Amino acid sequence: MPVMLRLLSAAVVLLAIPAAVVHAQAADDYHSNPKFIAAVKDARQMEHDKKPEIAIDDYKKANKIAGGRCVECMAGLYKAQMMDGGYKDAIETAREMEAVGATPLVKSVAAYDRGRALMSKYGDKPKPEQVEEERAAFQEAVDLYPMNMAAVFDAGAALARLGRIDDARKEFQLCLGSLKPGDAAWLRLKHFADDPELATHNMAPAFEVTALDGSKFNLDAMGGRVVLVDFWATWCGPCNEELPEMRKIAKEFAGRPFVMISVSSDKDETAWKEFIQKHEMTWVQYRDVDHKLADEFGVAAIPHYFTIDSDGVLTTEMVGSGSDVEGRLKKLVAKAEEAKAHVGAGGATTHALSGN
């Protein structure tokens, strides 16, 4: 499942089933059962510890105690199965959740989750009939609960992948109309509404962080610039070896349509700040304390680099020292300069991000 589609969907609408909705539809008898409480607690802890295989067993145990009617347990089970790569099982769990759901909202979220699991199962290069199966699940979610904008968005993305660009644009515009310009997902949705074909590409995760100097860094507000995301840490030997290369890149592309952000996994804020000052790291710096951004990009080792073109498309992923980061950037920046010159000459492009 394309990273961007998964993350943007989460930004558009509440995907998790609200606890109030879950509990309202179920009898309270099992909620006070000590064995049920313990099983759910264990499942959530295993989920937090990233041990989905154990969480799966605990959620199943809790749901069995609840007589197979605990939507909350099924939602947790689905999440753990997705985390564990058990997409076929997740599809079936979503079907069961939809079957026992007592409200249109719960059923809609379950149908939407089934569509997400189908996307993960079929991967980045699904057959047309598989894309249609995904679209049908998302459309069912919309029919059940029209305000499920995440389902509207993913239905639009499926339409774009099926070549139905005009239909996709309508879905993206509908999503856009549900948000305000200041909302986190607004810029990215505007991008998709302008150019639905972007849904056929592997887009970088949309994110906004507060940098070391207090400025806000929003990927979708980069104004058509190429972005290099550098995951590193002060204690990482190979990362330190790459520092001269990073300084060279920052200097070489200064004043051009390019931005570099270094994302550190350091826990010691003081050591991080002192290191940055000592080594003259003058570009955008961010400390990813909870590793949330690293998780969004799927980073498991550092140094780890991602190049993102001026359309927001994730073009290259490089791991380890010795990666030809500079060489990859030259072509992307040159292309961005050509696009900028075209716009400056009076042309127009739907690919340009909002900004300067």
What's residue 28's pLDDT?
A: 55
Where does 14-133 show beta strands of DSSP type E?
A: none
Question: What mean pLDDT do residues 178-189 have?
Answer: 76
The pLDDT of 142-162, averaged and rounded, is 93
Q: Which residue has the tokens 């050591």?
A: 271
**Paired sense of beta strands 258-264 and 284-287, if any:** parallel
Res. 174: pLDDT tops 50: yes
Weakest-pLDDT range from 21-25, 280-284, 295-299: 21-25
Amino acid letter for position 159:
L
Nearest to 293 by CA among 328, 262, 268: 262
Question: Which tokens belong to 148?
Answer: 């499920």
The residue among 257 and 340 whose pLDDT is bigger is 257
Q: What is the pLDDT of residue 163?
A: 94
Structure tokens at 143: 């029919």
Asked if the model's pLDDT at residue 147 lies above 80, the reply is yes
Using a cut of 0.85, tell me whether the model's pTM lies above it: no
Kindly state the tokens that stand for 335.
Answer: 């292309």
pLDDT of residue 313: 83
Of 52-66, 111-125, 189-203, which range is least confident?
A: 189-203
Q: Which tokens go with 250?
A: 């920052």
Q: What is the pLDDT of residues 330-345, one digit of tens each?
A: 988 988 888 777 655 5
CB 162 within 8 A of CB 132: yes
Render 185-224 in DSSP notation, one character per residue: THHHHHHHHH-GGGGGS-BPPP-EEE-TTS-EEEGGGSTT
- Which domains can be identified in the chain, with CATH numbers? 3-200 (1.25.40.10), 208-344 (3.40.30.10)
Rounded-to-integer distance, Cα 116 and Cα 1, Å: 8
Per-residue pLDDT tens over the stretch 319-328: 887 677 888 8
Mean pLDDT of the chain: 85
In this predicted structure, the answer to whether residue 346 has a pLDDT above a threshold of 60 is no
Residue of higher predicted confidence among 57 and 193: 57
